[in-house]
Every structure is written in structure tokens, then in C-alpha cells.
Structure 1
Amino acid sequence: MRTPGVGFLAVSAALASYSVRLPAQSLEGGAVRCKGEVISRIEVSARPPLEIAGSKYQQRVARLVTDLHATTNPSIISRFLVLRPGMKCTEQRRLESERILRTQPYIADATVTAYPDDAGGVYLAVMTVDETSLIIGGGASGQTPYVRAFRLGEANFMGEAMSVVGNWRYSENFRDTWSARIRDYQFAGRPYQVSIEGARRDLGGEWAFEASHPFLSDLQRYSWRTTAGSRDGYRSFIRPDAEPLAIRLKRSHADGGGVVRIGRPGRLALVGASVSYERELPEPFATSLGPGPTEPDTSDVLLNRYQRLGTARINALAGLRDVSFMRVKGFEALEGSQDVRKGVELATLFGRGIDAFGASEHDDFVSANLYVGVGSPAAFGAVEILTEGRRDGDTKQWDGLLASGRAATYFKPTERQTLLTSVEWSAGWRQRIPFQLTFADRDGGPRGYADSWLAGGRRVVVRLEDRVLVGRIKQFASVGVAPFVDAGKLWAGDVPFGVDSKLSVSVGVGLLAALPPRSQRPWRLDLAIPVNPEDGARWRVIVTSRNFTRMFWKEPGDVQRNRERSVPTSIFNWP
């Protein structure tokens, strides 16, 4: 029987052949490995975060959570599969379908299992468990107004793979901040992503738009992306024993491009091109943003320090990939599964300035992203490095140099314990726009140093953590503990008000909870205590809920915000 051709993740009339219902109670034989059998049907079971048997109280709680949650539409799940009725079933496509489903931020776990049918073929049973999709948060104070911030949203609105989030934050000296973001992970029933966001900040505002066909799998042939956005705001500079200063910065950007695959899945190259536009307008003087009206500052350190830039470029995109995916448990989640990359990836971009869109800078731009991962589910190590820089066409000097990276090991002496070691570094040289690295950055500094006044141009942070799964609370959640030690150091570099710091250390313990138990997005309650609090640091209680299973390295905000807006970090994970 000839297998009909199919494009990766294509949505066609053949979807009508899917049987979207709960799997049969009596399975037609045991599970089998796919060996080229024809797929007769696909059965999809999309489940809510909690399905609890037991006491009436437990069932009422589970029912309440389920009533507040819209389970993912089975047709959404079907469209992410790279198998369909009438195709030959292969282990590669079965496992890849599982992995693609697990990478979706609204799905906690997914399995795709093959069973023999009565006609000598197989049918597929697809089962997914949703993440808890309600997004809610806020901030409070002991003084009026008692409520200082509020966040509300849905990570899987109406079960249609759409994230909708709104935020409000009180400002004591200026206007309140309002922001909203909408992202559709399957726009118009296709594997396209569309994101729209906007904000009215206390000073300034921003908007951004992005549409893309992200590179979700080595099985697809092409990927494309287009973006546009603008931001008007202030960049603050921390100063020792003095109030911060700020420089107003306006930025706008746009780009469009794509890549095609050359080679077989697992060992391939991506090549392509893009056109980009970038405009940066820093003010030539600093501003004091204390209580009352904003006032220009006469500090010589920041006077005429940063350059205005308008550039349009044609960019060549190229990447090499020799990786396989390994399913592991308990690396970045308590019990949840994630798929880590084993092998090597290298993504590069080479850009050349052109006369277009009102820009006339004839500069050269280069960026690169290198990843290497090796190991097993019991012991794994990886390193990722990101760099970029610009060469001025007139002076022939390099500027805007940025580098960051992470090296980490995961060691599991038992199923319930994970020893995590991580070294993270960031650096910038000759920045064209306002730039400082601090210990106060949420992702960049040691925990407990959010109020630190230390800043510099280069930063290294070492993190040690012993994460232990304690057990489950009934069928509601998994719980764990994680004692940790963070240590960091800053070097002044060439940034304003930079210092060479001594080693700054914090110790603490975290309480972790995952709801549902297999969630990839655990909640953390960390108590962090600085060992040397004289630098402005103090003990803090930190509450977070974040998903790190989809990425190895989340670049700190004080580095990421200085990168070129129109340049993708890696062509392998557009967007």
C-alpha cells in the first residue's frame, strides 16, 4: 500500500479520519513498537490536570479545579502529531509526536502508544494531561494602597492553545502600568504561532508583534518568522550609595526571514536568509527619576556616552545539528518528564548593512549559538554559549559585544534526588545603548541579592542545589525540598558605575510543589539568606512558578534586553 505524502504538521481533510474519543476500555492486545504497520485510526484522550478517586472531599476539590479549567481540544492535539491514519507507523514519528506534545506549555505530559488492530495494522492511543492553566498573581503592602500589583490570565484559553495574560502595577511617583499579551500556539488550525503584546508603562510604553512557523521538529522542511515592535522607556543605572540614574531609550525593529532543512532528521543543516531593520535612539544625557517631576542630570559619566543607530541588513542564516532527544524525569521538574538534547548544535547569523528603510549604516553583524549535551537519564551535562557583535563600517571597530552562557550537570543518585550544579556567565563590551549587569537581576544574580547595588560589565554565578522529592499529597500534588548555595562575582568592565566585587554568597532552602504531580511548572517557595549582606542585599522569601523544561539556558534580562531585537537567538528554536 502506498503511503500518501504529508508535510510536517499539515492540517488537511484527512483529519476527518481521526477518531477523537476516549480509548477503548478493552485494548486490542498489548502495546507494540511501530515497524511500518499501517495506522487504521488515532484515538485522542485529552485529560484535565486532576482526575482523583477517593473521598468525596478530594473529589469535590478535583471537580472545582476541573470546572475552572478548559481541557485542551482534542483536535488541537491531533494537529501536532506527525502521524495520521493511512500512514506507516514508525518509532521515529511516534516518539517525535510525543516530544512535540510535551513541549507545548499547556501540556504537562503526553504519550503516544501503538496497539495492534484486527486488520494487521495498528491504531494509536494518544493521551495528554494538561497543566493547570489559570494564571494569577499579585503584590501587596502594609500601607495604602494595600494591593500594589495584580496579574490574571489563562495559559490555555478555552482549551484552544491560546495564552491570554493581563497585568497591572501601582506606581508611586508616576502613572500605573498596564500590559497585556496574547499568544496563539496554533493559529488558524495550522502550526503557526502569532503573538501580540502591548504595555503602557509608568514612563513610556511598548508594543510587539510576531508571526512564525517555529522549527518544532527535524522532520519539517522549513521554518519562517516575522516580527515588529517598538519601545520607549528608561534604562536605570545602579550607583553605590546614591540614587539610580536613567537614560531614555527608544528602540524599534522589524524583520522577516526563513530557513530550509538540508539532510536527514537528527543530522542536518539549516540555511536561509532574512531582512532586518533596527533603530536605537538613546538620549545624550541622564535623568533623575526620584519623587516628583523627572529632571535632567548633569553627570559627566553618562553625558553623550551612547550612540544613535539606524541600520537595515541582509542576513545569512546557517546552522548544523547532530542531536537526538532523551526523555528524562526530575531534572527541572519534580516528577514531570522533559526531553533533553544529546549532541551538538551550532547556529550562526552573518549580516551586512544596506541602504534601505531610511538607514545608511554599512555595518557587519555576527551572532552565534553553540550547544553541546552528553549523558544519560542518571547523569547529564550540557553547555550553551551565545555571542553577538557589530563591526562599524566607518571606524572598522567592533562594538555591541555580548556573550553569555551556562554549563550545568544533573546527577541522580536515586530516582527521588537530583544534584544540580550550574555555572552561568554574562559579559558586555563597548555597548551602544545603556548597559549594566547586576546581582539584582531576577535570573542573573544570586538569590537574596534583589536589593544589591553591585553592578559591573562581567558576571559569573555558581549555583549548587540538592533537590529531593519528598512524596505526594494524596493525588493532588508532588512536594519536594531543595537546599541551595549561590555564589557570584562582578567585574567592573567598561560600564558606568561598575565595581569589582568580592565573592557574594547566599544560602537557603526551597519548598517545591507540582500540581498536577507530573507538571513541568513547579511552584517554589525559596528562603534566601545573603552571607555578606553589606552590599545592600537582605534575606528574602521568593515565590515563583516557571517552566524550565523547554530550554536549557534562559538568558538573564539585563543581557537579553541589549541584544539586537530583530535577530533570533537560535535558528533552531524560532521563535
Structure 2
Amino acid sequence: MIVGVSRRCRAHAVAAVAVCTLSASPLSALRAQNVRADSVRQPPVSSQGVLPVTGCSGQVISDIIVITQPPFTDRLPRDLEWVRRTVRAMHSNTRDEVIRRFLLLKVGEPCNQIKRAESERILRAQPYLVDARIRAYDDEAGGVRLEVETRDDFSLLFEPMFRGTAPVFRGMRLGESNLGGNAKQVAVEWRDGLAYNDVLAMRYTDYQFLGQRDELRLEARRNPFGQQLQLDVVRPYYTDLQRLAWVASVGGTREPMRLLRGPIEQNAVNVRRAYGNIGALTRVGPVGRLKLVGFSLTREDERTDSLPLLLRREGPRPDTLGAAPGQYIAQNVMRANVLLGFRAIRFVPVRGFDALTGAQDIRVGVQVGVAAGHSLRIGPAVDNDRFLATNIYLGWGGEKWFAGAQGITEARYSVDRDRWENVLGSGRAAWYFRPAVRQTTVLQAEWAAGRRMQAPFQVSLADREGGLLGHRRSREPGARRMVFRGEQRFVIPTRFNVADAGLAAFAEAGRLWAERSVPYSVDTPWRGTLGVSFLAAVPPRSRRLWRLDVGVPVSNDQFKQFEIRLSSTDRSRTFWRDTRDVERSRERTAPTSLFTWP
């Protein structure tokens, strides 16, 4: 910065030397970034282009400057400027100290390119940030000055819930995802339960618990016919540079699990669970090609009522319509588990894959996680079993195209019955192709399967996440599900800075298979849906994708119907996450991935 300004000073008249010299001072330059000519204070902006850019290659870090930006950084057209003013008035920028705690670099230390890139990626992984950049600038004293620039996502949570029949207004979710800029999420929810209890829920997450890179998660929920309580304290495994990660959790649920059974009205069985987990991992091996070794102690107590119920609009009734689903085996176990992992991964920044135009970091390489446990007969824990869970991920590609696959499997071996039970697996394979800045093609396959199930389990094409659009009223259950999806997405150019917009055409097809241990399961033919989607990302380059999907079902299912669905999701932070109908049947203490758990 000083070099560039001094050259300009020599080109001016002698009378301007004093002014140029004053502007060459770093402190004056930083102040000048915040004040316009009319003395109105402005948010700080990047100094890129003013200071000479250097590499991060061992120079001593003399200073770290953090610049946090609100959701809208660019001025909007005059008629829409009120949107920008309103959002900024309601929004609190993420605090500087929150950003600094995620940095792996400190003042006085050598500037390391790997630590710089990993710090940038960790910041981008935070759900309340849209993007993050860390740049190094020459301080003209043999060192570098780091400039950390982040941009916030919308922090207000406001989700009204409506339905097509009276009462039209069903409920609301209200909260703040970055309370006071302190990396805390608070949300409350109410939903009309009709003949049952109203849903009352509270969720609190502190992404920097006690000022550290630890997370505190608390969720309390009263469901229409049950409740849920969960507390987690976690040090996530953010980076290969990290030495230790750990988790401690406890919780319990009581809720009915609805079971589809074809043309007969669905029934439900009440499931009670209590669980706890404490464990830790440590790194072994070099960065970029490392191994993880750890240990955990888990407790699981699960019981399913033998008498099914009909959950009708006017309230619960005994089920007298058809055959009962059968007897489920209770589980009361404490296990000692060994955690093993191998990882040879690098991260590639891309845009427009899972987000409309936003940035994300894709994993390229191989990642394997294994959890193996044996039961301990201590106190009320009487089961004698072994447990095995695996998570395998493969990814390759770059900015133009990427292909990845991930599979998660778990199984329990009963020593008393001498057989494997509750064999549950799910996964996803996907191919992304982005030939132009405004075009993205996505082809993917998703699967889920359960075998020898001794716990309640069903999958269907009616599931909102794992099923097909236009089949939400489908009544056919299965033990295995395969769904193929294809989407061609286009970004619509716009001169307004309010949001990014896009259009997509999609097609999807899926089917189910039966298995004897899954009650009422049937084989179905292939069924499909064709449709178009209207896409939006607010603010621009946000990773949260709003979709208005319009789907026309193509199948012989008598319950198919034309469907319009509004959704809002952020899928840029993880390649695969279990659908709700699979997740509810998994053991609560089994880690789905050693690299996101702890």
C-alpha cells in the first residue's frame, strides 16, 4: 500500500505531498475505508488492489484485520434500496472475535498457506456465513498482514406453516441464527396439534461454547403424541490440522412411528428411547493423509409398544382394522466402541453445485470411518451383542465437474440369537457438470435398505426428502428404496442485487422392494415425476437454496397427484445426510461419520 501511494505522490505537485503522505499511513487508509467524502461512516471494505498481494509462505504475520459484511454489500436499485436498509437495521454483523476464534493463524507466527486455506474453509462451513476470504498483503517490513473478509447470511428465521384445509394457518417457526453476531442460534416453534397436543419446540445452538471451537446443542420438543429432549457438547473434527475431537451427549424420545399398509388406514407403534454417548478421537499420521483412532462408551435403551394405534383426526384409537405389525425386540445395551478412520482428502472450492451461485468446498479423495463395539453387561444393560458401523466416501473432479459417492451402513450382531440384525444402509452417488457459469447438470441416485429389522422401519415414495414429488399421499411401504434424479439448472441474469434467480427442469424415478422383516412392505413398479422448479438465493450467492417445485407424477399409483412444493435447504456443507424415515430407525449413539462426529 505504501509503495503504491508513494509513486502517486511523486507524480503530484509539491503542494500535494503532505496530503499523499498522510494517505499513505496504514491507519489513515483504514479510516478512509470507513468514511465517505460527506463524513458518513461506512462499513469497512477490502483493501485488495491497494496493497501489493504476496504469497503466504513463511513470513511473520504482523497483523490480522477482520472485516465482517452484512447480507447485502452492494447498493440496490433506488426502488429496492429499502430492502437493504431494512435488512441491515435488523441484522447484527458477526463479531470480530467470533471470526478470530476459527482462525488457525495467529499474529507473530509464520504465515502458512495450508493453515490459511483451512481457516478459510472452516469459516465457509459455518451456517451463518455466506462466504469467507483470507488474503495476505505485504507489510513492507518483511512480514505480511492478513485480511479476513466474511459475509453474513440472513439471520432471521421466520417460517409460517399453512395447509389447504381449515385451519389454514397451522403454525410458525421463529428465531435468530446468529444472535447478536455471537454465533448462537435460538429458535422456537408452535404448531397446531388439532386433536392432539400442540407442538411446542425450542432449539439452542452455541457454535463457540465457552469461547472455544466447541458446540453446545440443546433441543426440547413436545410432539403431538410424545416428546424429545437432547443435549450435545461437541468439539467437531474441523480440519486435519486438529489433534483431538470429542463428544458427550444424552437424550430421550417418545413418539409414535406411523406404518403404511397399502389400502388399509395406517397405524402406529409407540417407540421409547433413552441414550447417552461419550467419546474422543485423536489424529495419527501426516496432514492430508492421516488416520484417526478413538474410543467411545454408549448406552441405548429402546422399547416398542406391542399394541398399535390408529392416529385419527379426532384422536388416537385402538387398531382393529388389520394384522398387527408383529413383535419388536427391545434393546437395553451398553457398549465399548473402537473408532477408526482413514482420510486422504483435499478440498476444492467450487460454485453453483449444490447452491445456485454460492461457494462450497467439495471433498476430493477417499474417506473411511469405522465404529466397532461390544456390549458390557453393567447394571440394567443386559443385552449381549456386537455392533458395526461404516461410512465410506469417494470423490473426484474439480470446478467443472465432480463425481462422488457415499454409503453409510450399520448392523447389530446378537450373540444370543447368533445372527446379524437391524442391518441398515443408505447412500448417494452424484455427478455434477457445470459447462458454463450459468448452467449446472446434476444426475444422482439415492438408496436406502433395511434387512432383518427388529426395530420399527419402513421407507416409502411419500417421504418428503427421499421420495418422489407428487407421491406424498402414496400408501405403499417398502424395505428397500432406489430413486434416480436428474436436473438441468439455469441461472437467470439479473441487474438487481436483491437475489439470484434460476430455473430448472427435473425428472425423477423410484421404486420399492419388500422384505419379510419389514411389516406391510411390498414390491412396486417404477414410478416417476416430471417437473420444473423456480429457484432463488437470498441474499445473492447465498448457499441456502429456495425452491418452488411443480411436479406432475407419471405412475399408476392411485394416490398420485399434481403437487407444488416450497422448500428451503442448504446442502452445500455435507454430501449426504440420511432421510428422516431412515434416520429415525438408526441407533442414536452411532456416529454417521468420524469426520463430522465429533
TM tier, shorter chain?
over 0.9
Q: Aligned ranges for residues 300-339 of structure 1 at < 5 Å?
A: 301-302=323-324, 304-339=326-361
Letter of the 1:540 counterpart? E
Which residue among 482, 498, 515 is the counterpart of 2:521? Answer: 498
How is 1:413-424 mapped onto 2 (pairs within 5 angstroms)? 413-424=435-446
| Closer/same/farther in 2, CA of residues 24 and 283 from structure 1, 3 Å limit | closer
- Paired with 1:538 and 1:556, the residues of 2 have a C-alpha distance of 22
Query: Considering only CA atoms, is the larger Rg found in Structure 1 or Structure 2?
Result: 2
Alignment correspondent of 1:244: 266
Q: Is the 8 A contact 2:249 2:276 kept in 1?
A: yes
| Structure 2 CA distance for aligned equivalents of residues 410 and 24 of structure 1 | 32
Instruction: Provide the C-alpha distance between the structure 2 equivalents of 1:549 and 1:293, rounded to a whole number of angstroms.
Output: 40
Alpha carbons 1:23, 1:125 under 8 Å: kept: no
CA, structure 1 residues 390+447, in 2 after alignment: closer, same or farther (shift >3 Å)? same
- Contact kept, 8 Å, 2:264 with 2:321, in 1: the verdict is no
Following superposition, the deviation at residue 22 of structure 1 comes to 3.6
Alignment of 1:68-107 (within 5 A): 68-107=90-129
Taking the aligned partners of 1:150 and 1:23, their CA distance within structure 2 comes to 37
Task: Please name the residue that 2:429 is paired with.
Answer: 407
Secondary structure of 1:289's counterpart equals strand
Q: 1:255 to 1:141 in 2, by over 3 A?
A: closer
Alignment match of 1:442 (pick from 464, 484, 492): 464
Q: Displacement, 1:58? A: 3.1
Shift of 1:23: 5.8
For structure 2, the 5+ residue unaligned runs are 1-30, 35-42
Residues 151, 165 of structure 1: 8 Å contact kept: yes
Q: Distance in 1 between matches of 2:366 and 2:558?
A: 40
Identity of counterpart residues, as a percentage?
Answer: 37
- d(CA) in 2 for partners of 1:24, 1:341: 29
Any stretches of 5+ residues in structure 1 without a counterpart? 1-18
Q: Which residue of 1 aligns with 2:568?
A: 545
Q: 1:240 to 1:566 in 2, by over 3 A?
A: same
Kindly indicate whether residue 337 of structure 2 is the aligned counterpart of residue 289 of structure 1.
no
Alignment of 1:200-279 (within 5 A): 200-279=222-301
Q: CA deviation at 1:448?
A: 2.0
Does 2:548 align with 1:562? no
Cα distance, 1:110–1:358 mapped onto 2, change above 3 Å: same
Measured in 2, the distance between the counterparts of 1:308 and 1:322 equals 39
CA gap 1:24/1:402 in 2 versus in 1, 3 angstroms: closer
Q: TM-score, normalising length from structure 2?
A: 0.90
Match of 2:447 among 418, 425, 428: 425
Structure 2 residue aligned with 1:531: 554
Matches within 5 A, 1:342-381: 342-381=364-403
Q: Which residue in 2 is equivalent to 1:134?
A: 156
Q: Are the structure 2 counterparts of residues 423 and 120 from structure 1 closer, same or farther at C-alpha, using a change threshold of 3 Å?
A: same
Q: Which residue identity lines up with residue 551 of structure 2 in the other structure? A: A
- The equivalent position to 1:154 in structure 2, one of 146, 166, 176, is 176
> Paired residue for 1:44, among 54, 66, 89?
66
Deviations 1:224-265 (A, max 9, x none): 001111001101111211211000110110010000000111
Q: Any idea what SS the aligned residue of 1:61 has?
A: helix
- In structure 2, distance between residues paired with 1:417 and 1:523: 17
Measured in 2, the distance between the counterparts of 1:231 and 1:185 equals 24
Question: Which amino acid is 2:370 matched to?
Answer: T
Structure 2: how far apart are the matches of 1:29 and 1:134?
36
- Which residue in 2 is equivalent to 1:112? 134
SS for the counterpart of 2:363 is strand
Question: Where has structure 1 moved over 6 Å in runs of 4 or more?
Answer: none
What is residue 596 of structure 2 aligned with on the other side? 573
Structure 1 residues 142 and 416, CA, compared in 2 at 3 Å: closer, same or farther?
A: closer
For 1:67, the equivalent position in structure 2 comes to 89
Q: Which amino acid aligns with 1:527?
A: V
Q: Is the 8 A contact 1:285 1:303 kept in 2?
A: no
How far is the alpha carbon of 1:301 from its aligned partner?
4.0
Deviation, 1:535, is: 3.6
User: 1:283: Cα distance to partner?
Assistant: 0.7
> What is the DSSP-based 3-state SS (H/G/I as helix, E as strand, rest coil) of the residue aligned with 1:294?
strand
RMSD: 1.7
Normalised TM-score (structure 1): 0.94
Q: Deviations over 1:144-174 (max 9, x none)?
A: 4331121111111111111111111112221
Moved more, 563-572 or 23-32: 23-32
Distance 1:560 1:226 in 2: 20
Q: 1:499 to 1:142 in 2, by over 3 A?
A: closer
Partner Cα distance (2:370, 2:278) in 1: 16
Indicate if the aligned counterparts of 2:325 and 2:520 stay in contact, CA closer than 8 A: no
CA distance in 2: counterparts of 1:55 and 1:300, whole angstroms: 63
Contact 1:510 1:525 in 2 (8 A): yes
- AA aligned opposite 1:470: I
Give 2:178's aligned amino acid: N
Change (3 A) 1:24 1:484: closer
Preserved CA contact (<8 Å) 1:221 1:260: yes
Q: How much has 1:114 moved relative to structure 2? A: 0.2
